[in-house]
Homo-oligomer: A and B are copies of this chain.
Amino acid sequence: MPMITVEWLEGRTQVQKTQLAEALTNAFVDIAKVSKDQVWIVFRDVKRSDWAMAGKLVSEQ
């Protein structure tokens, strides 16, 4: 542990995921003193037609 899940709208690039994976992992190692290889991160890209805010799907806003 820890298990970190990131749920967000699709559209981010692979480079951004790579950079975030490194930055988040470093933050947990530095601040929470966990072992680096015990940090798991899962990105879940959500389609704009599957995410609603303020009562409307993002694809319809």
Contact = CB atoms under 8 A, between A and B. Distances in A.
Interface residues of A, number: 48
Contacts of A6: 2-4
Interface string A1-43: 1111111110010101111111111111011101011011111
Given A12-B32, A55-B39, A27 B25 contact: no
A9 B42 CA distance: 10
Contacts of A19: 31
A40 B53 contact: yes
Interface of A: 1-9, 12, 14, 16-28, 30-32, 34, 36-37, 39-46, 49-57, 60
